[in-house]
Amino acid sequence: MMRLSEIFRADGFLRKVFAMMLKEVLQLRRDRITLATMISIPLMQLIMFGYAINTTPRDLPTAVLLQENSDVGRSIIAALKNTKYFAIKYQAKTPYEFDHLLASGKVLFGVEIPANFERGVRRGDKPALLVAADATDPVAAGSALAALSGIVQTALVHDLGIPDAGTPAFEVRTHARYNPAGKTELNIVPGLLGTILTMTMLIFTSLSVTRESERGTMESLLSMPITPLEIMLGKITPYVGIGIMQAALIVGAGVLMFHVPIVGNFFLLAVLTTLFIATNLSLGFTFSTLAENQLQAVQMSMMSFLPSMLLSGFLFPYAGMPLWAQYLGEIFPLTHFIRIVRAVMLKGSTLADLQFDTAMLVLLMLIAMGIAVTRFRRTLD
């Protein structure tokens, strides 16, 4: 009976395996997008989960409304900063500005020190410090609100003239706005609207141009008297309708099954959702002009979708990420849409409150369209 090694030598087993291995390595080397995907996705996950994701966020943007300018008020603000949970970004001058900062999403917390607060403290009346929290993201708000109990005990410990009766000199009254019960579905369902639309719209349109090439219909397309912009608009417009149907299904299910409210203007929500769909379709069309085949197009879409989901504030609090991760998150349409959909559905925000995020969606759409048309024109040439 022949030994196993003799069979391998007789059939050229190792030589054939080595030849096939060499062929696969060369083919993988030519397919740079697949190779980049295999290397970059694990590295991307390691960096994001290790450095960018923080489930106990700190330095959360906070606004202060001082109804009086006093030593006690300044001591309380200093105590808020010392907790490391609150970063005083704005000092509101009126209650309207205070409410606008919360409605627009510029801050997650608002601290109001009412008039005659210091006099009440010195008289031992235990006045109330008012704290409004944007509870559309319960994870971000929860740990910070829990830290408020500490400032009651420590804020005025060094202030002279404060009666030491063994009880706190003031109390903290918190108001969890927009989601008083802290229901997670009110946070998750609006985010799912953006996440599902991002995934499906990117993949649908990223296959549009590569499908033409692989099916051999690109030659017919090139012979038509049509410009690259007209081709792009004609290809993505049907998917706009599909995206609108998806959005209507998700919103309807959220309202009926999970009782998610639509506090704001429904027409505004529909218009901005359509803008978000168009932005993702433009981005997907750009991927289709860069990819050489459908597999590469899907890989590009997934490489964009993963960081978009992690850095948008859908899974983890956006305000708790380091600044470099927040700046990186701003380049993804999903980041801006999640702010928009939560603000409109839960807060009743208007277009005036959402100017920045709306402008960013328009800018990202125009940039993606410009790159797609330029790249497709080269394909035509």
* Residue range 228-252, pLDDT digits in tens: 777 778 888 888 999 999 999 999 9
Yes or no: say if 331 and 364 are a contact pair by the CB < 8 Å rule: yes
Q: Which two tokens stand for residue 59?
A: 């330095």
Q: Three-class SS of residue 320?
A: helix
Q: What is the mean pLDDT of residues 44-73?
A: 78
- Tokens 């390595």 correspond to 25
- Tokens 């790249």 correspond to 375
CATH class entry, domain 60-177? alpha beta
pLDDT at 363: 96
Q: Three-class SS of residue 173?
A: strand
How far is residue 51 from each of residues 269, 325, 332, 337, 353, measured CA to CA in Å?
34, 9, 19, 24, 31
Starting from the edge strand earliest in sequence, which strands make up the sheet with 86-92, in order? Answer: 86-92, 60-66, 109-113, 128-134, 171-177
Torsional class of 9: left (φ above 0), alpha (ψ -120 to 50), beta (otherwise): alpha
pLDDT at 1: 47
Q: What is the mean pLDDT of residues 176-184?
A: 84
Q: What is the mean pLDDT of residues 289-298?
A: 81
Kind of pairing between the strands at 109-113 and 86-92: unpaired
Rounded Cα gap, residues 63 and 86, in angstroms:
9
Which H or E run includes 234? Answer: helix 228-258
Instruction: Look at residues 331, 330, 349 and name the one whose alpha carbon lies nearest to residue 340.
Output: 349
Span 13-34, pLDDT tens digits: 677 777 777 877 777 677 666 6
Average pLDDT value for the chain: 82
- pTM of this prediction? 0.81
4 vs 236: which has the higher pLDDT: 236
pLDDT at 136: 86
What's the full length of the chain, in residues?
Answer: 381
Q: Three-class SS of residue 12?
A: coil
DSSP string, 127-158: PEEEEEEETTSHHHHHHHHHHHHHHHHHTTTT
What are the extents of the domains in the chain?
Answer: 60-177, 184-380
Backbone angles phi, psi at 106, to 5 degrees: -70, -30
Yes or no: say if 201 and 281 are a contact pair by the CB < 8 Å rule: yes
Rounded Cα gap, residues 43 and 2, in angstroms:
47
Rounded Cα gap, residues 222 and 239, in angstroms:
22
Position 196 confidence tier, pLDDT thresholds 50, 70, 90: very high
144 vs 265: which has the higher pLDDT: 265
Question: What are 226-230's contacts with CB under 8 Å, separation 24+?
Answer: 228/373, 228/376, 228/377, 228/380, 229/369, 229/373
